[in-house]
Structure 1
Amino acid sequence: MKILHIITSLELGGAEKLLLDLIPAQKRQGVDVELLVLDTNGEKFLEEYEKRGIKIHKTQINNRMSLKNIFEIAKLIKIQKIDIVHAHLIHSQIWTSLARYLNKNVIYITTEHSTHNRRREKSIYKILDKFIYNSFVKVIAISEATARELIKWTGISLKKIDVIPNGVSLRAFMGKPKERKGNNLIMVSRFHQSKDHITVVRALEKLPKEYTLTFIGEGETEEAVKREVLMLNLADRVQFLGYSNSVPVLLKRADIAIQSSNFEGFGLSALEAMASGTPIVATNVEGLADIVSESGLLFKVGDVNDLVQKIKILEDSKVYSDKSKMGIKSSLVYSIEATAKKYIELYKEELK
């Protein structure tokens, strides 16, 4: 069995982070797996993928928007004698759904990684998305909320969808139960419309001056967040570290992790924080709330005062210790090895 994952890019994001752990885990379980990246402009993970021994193919055009992707995908499938093609993110999904007409004797699967995106704000895209998702034999949703929203948007059959939760490499993130030592907040997340960094900055203004905040990530909304920090005179309390390969260490050093989102398919960064033993305060949105649940604290979307209140609850040493322990325990359910196994079982079932 030979698998080809196809992804739009290797920029910062949940799908890109998932494959970084998922592909090696699938290889460890005896599957021949390779990766095709349609666009390496702005990539952040390429070097890390190569370090982990993942065989990466790149397109000659290196442009996610080009129609030529259809033929490059089809050619690679034929040359590499691929059995299953597994597409991730919209451009990969579009071109793969069309490339299948040139290689019909292959199983095509895709994973849906979010409960919402910009296309769902315009009804004209509903027709396109319905065609795309119906082109795949199976659509994997990373959470029940993701599956529910996709069915609502496209109307695709419930039989076509399976739910396989994301996993995390527990060996890298697993920490010990913690006692609170300081007031260092951390948010690990790309700067994107799906995230809500501004609410975290405004919450910091209302917290005692002993509190500091570290952002890890890059993206399109970063400059707007930096302007907000300057306007609120918080520059001496906020760090922007950009992309970092030291997330496990930084999470373990922090006192509280924040995951502030407008919408979320799963919440991989929240899960990583939980595994590290750092108590998590997260937005109460579908997907993310399902992961955090009682293991952390949830606040209303965009509600600065609610976020401040939840952060202050963790000033109680017993609550802090309990949430640290609960986060570690809950994270054990989401190992990357379990996720890889579920995907492989699905592949085998579709090849019968």
Structure 2
Amino acid sequence: MKIVQLITHMNEIGGAQVHVRDLSKQLALEGHSVTIIYGGNEIVANDLIVDTITYNHSKFLIRKINVVKDFLAFLEIRKKLKLTKPNLVAIHSSKAGIIGRIACWSLRIPSVFTAHGWSFTEGVEKKQQHFYRTVEKWVGKISTKVITVCDHDRNLALRNQVLPSEKIITVHNGVMDLKNTPSEKGNREVMKILMVARFEKPKQQLELLEALLQIKNLKWQMIFVGDGSLKRASAQFVQENYLGNKVTFLGSHSNVSDLLSDADLFVLTSAWEGLPLSILEAMVHGLPIIASNVGGVKEAVRDTENGFLIRNNLSELLSILIENELLRKNMGEKSREIYEASFTFEKMYEKTISTYLNLLKLGENG
């Protein structure tokens, strides 16, 4: 099978980018020909490069809405698809999702769009919600198949009448089992809290820092992994509130697996999400999770079982887990158990390839 994966950018690491890399790598291992067409910066992040995959840059595909560039991106992607002649195009991220589906429809190439979280989800600004909901309803009419990464997003699309139920399938996100040998954490005095996320909307690192400030007398060390435009504001908050000895900013990090292995608790304070890979990766390492109750998070973080969902009580939840080692251990074991049952890469891959093949079969019969 000749497959094109289309995504808005590959220059920085995010959930959609890691998903595309791992999926493409496995497809190539199984003998399929895979090309990733991507926009944004031409440079692909080192951690996203796989030798067996062809990378093809689109100079007009950008994240922000720009009518002229978006039209040029449509023409450019259409041309690239005509030259590549794939059996199927798998599309990821909002902007590529719109332009890619129109291009595939115009060429009669079967396509699958994976929504890694809708741009009209709760928490997004109302005007933006309305705009993307309108666009998705229109593009939905010409969509062949859409994968949502959690049941929450499937239900959201159905509730907003963006797509009919027969066009949508939920394939829960899954991640590779990269569990390391656990670090010796027992009896250490200071508990390590980890958050892995870009310093951009909607991640809200400042909300976590404000909650930690209220319990600065407890023994904790906060480690942030990630870069972005809002990082400076967080660093300034740390400086102004004399938290420099308790908070570390690591920036982008090539081996998050080692950090997860050494952490005691994982936190994610997003205003909106689909189903974050970072939470699933923390569950691989048997960590308890504190996370915002948004998107599909509650499908992985079962409140009071393998962590807590935040309900305006972040400081309180942090205190409970900082001070209770046995609870951390029990919740962490439950995280690993839920991961193995529902969120392995193998389960996700199997359902995804099955969706691809069913779509191709449908095209042949149609």
Shared fold, TM over 0.5 = yes
1:316–1:149 Cα change, 3 Å = same
Tell me how far apart the structure 2 counterparts of residues 307 and 229 of structure 1 sit (CA, whole Å). 21
Tell me how far apart the structure 1 counterparts of residues 20 and 184 of structure 2 sit (CA, whole Å). 29
- SS of residue matched to 2:7: strand
- Equivalence for 1:136: 143
1:246 is the counterpart of 2:273: no
Q: Which amino acid aligns with 1:114?
A: G
Moved beyond 6 Å, runs of 4+: none
Once structures 1 and 2 are overlaid, which stretch shifts more, 196-205 or 222-231?
222-231
1:79 is the counterpart of 2:78: no
- SS of residue matched to 1:123: helix
Superposition map of 1:231-310 within 5 A:
231-293=240-302, 295-310=305-320
- SS of residue matched to 2:275: coil
TM-score when scaled to structure 1?
A: 0.90
Kept after mapping to 1: 8 A contact 2:211/2:315: yes
1:261–1:157 Cα change, 3 Å = same
Alignment counterpart, residue 329 of structure 1, candidates 334, 337, 350:
337
- Equivalence for 2:107: 103
- SS of residue matched to 1:173: coil
Tell me how far apart the structure 1 counterparts of residues 72 and 19 of structure 2 sit (CA, whole Å). 27
1:37–1:53 Cα change, 3 Å = same
- SS of residue matched to 1:9: coil
Tell me how far apart the structure 2 counterparts of residues 242 and 23 of structure 1 sit (CA, whole Å). 27
1:47 is the counterpart of 2:46: yes
RMSD: 2.3
Alignment counterpart, residue 133 of structure 2, candidates 126, 129, 137:
126
1:235–1:58 Cα change, 3 Å = same
**Alpha-carbon offset, residue 120 of structure 1:** 6.3
Tell me how far apart the structure 1 counterparts of residues 359 and 127 of structure 2 sit (CA, whole Å). 29
Once structures 1 and 2 are overlaid, which stretch shifts more, 60-69 or 181-190?
60-69
- Equivalence for 2:364: none
Q: Which amino acid aligns with 1:217?
A: G
**Alpha-carbon offset, residue 58 of structure 1:** 0.6
Superposition map of 1:18-57 within 5 A:
18-40=19-41, 46-57=45-56
Tell me how far apart the structure 2 counterparts of residues 112 and 88 of structure 1 sit (CA, whole Å). 7
1:301–1:230 Cα change, 3 Å = farther
Q: Which amino acid aligns with 1:74?
A: R
1:202–1:124 Cα change, 3 Å = closer
**Alpha-carbon offset, residue 68 of structure 1:** 1.5
Deviations 1:175-205 (A, max 9, x none): 5597543411110111222212122112222
Tell me how far apart the structure 2 counterparts of residues 279 and 304 of structure 1 sit (CA, whole Å). 14
Kept after mapping to 2: 8 A contact 1:175/1:328: no
**Alpha-carbon offset, residue 282 of structure 1:** 1.9
1:124–1:330 Cα change, 3 Å = closer
**Alpha-carbon offset, residue 151 of structure 1:** 2.4
Tell me how far apart the structure 1 counterparts of residues 20 and 305 of structure 2 sit (CA, whole Å). 25
1:349 is the counterpart of 2:352: no
Once structures 1 and 2 are overlaid, which stretch shifts more, 289-298 or 45-54?
45-54
Alignment counterpart, residue 168 of structure 1, candidates 157, 167, 175:
175
1:155 is the counterpart of 2:162: yes
- SS of residue matched to 1:109: strand
Tell me how far apart the structure 2 counterparts of residues 178 and 162 of structure 1 sit (CA, whole Å). 42
Superposition map of 1:52-71 within 5 A:
52-61=51-60, 63-64=62-63, 65=66, 66=69, 67-71=71-75
Alignment counterpart, residue 194 of structure 2, candidates 183, 186, 190:
186
Kept after mapping to 2: 8 A contact 1:38/1:62: yes
5+ residue gaps, structure 1:
none
Q: Percent identity?
A: 24
Once structures 1 and 2 are overlaid, which stretch shifts more, 138-147 or 9-18?
9-18
- SS of residue matched to 1:97: helix
Alignment counterpart, residue 198 of structure 1, candidates 187, 199, 206:
206
Kept after mapping to 1: 8 A contact 2:180/2:258: no
Kept after mapping to 1: 8 A contact 2:194/2:263: yes
5+ residue gaps, structure 2:
362-366
Kept after mapping to 1: 8 A contact 2:286/2:336: yes
Alignment counterpart, residue 228 of structure 1, candidates 233, 237, 256:
237
Once structures 1 and 2 are overlaid, which stretch shifts more, 209-218 or 145-154?
145-154
Tell me how far apart the structure 2 counterparts of residues 52 and 335 of structure 1 sit (CA, whole Å). 24
Tell me how far apart the structure 2 counterparts of residues 224 and 131 of structure 1 sit (CA, whole Å). 38
**Alpha-carbon offset, residue 281 of structure 1:** 2.0
Once structures 1 and 2 are overlaid, which stretch shifts more, 149-158 or 83-92?
149-158
Give the number of equivalent residue pairs.
346
**Alpha-carbon offset, residue 95 of structure 1:** 1.4
Deviations 1:114-153 (A, max 9, x none): 1524576442443222112332201100000111122233
- Equivalence for 1:316: 324
Q: Which amino acid aligns with 1:112?
A: A
Tell me how far apart the structure 2 counterparts of residues 120 and 138 of structure 1 sit (CA, whole Å). 27
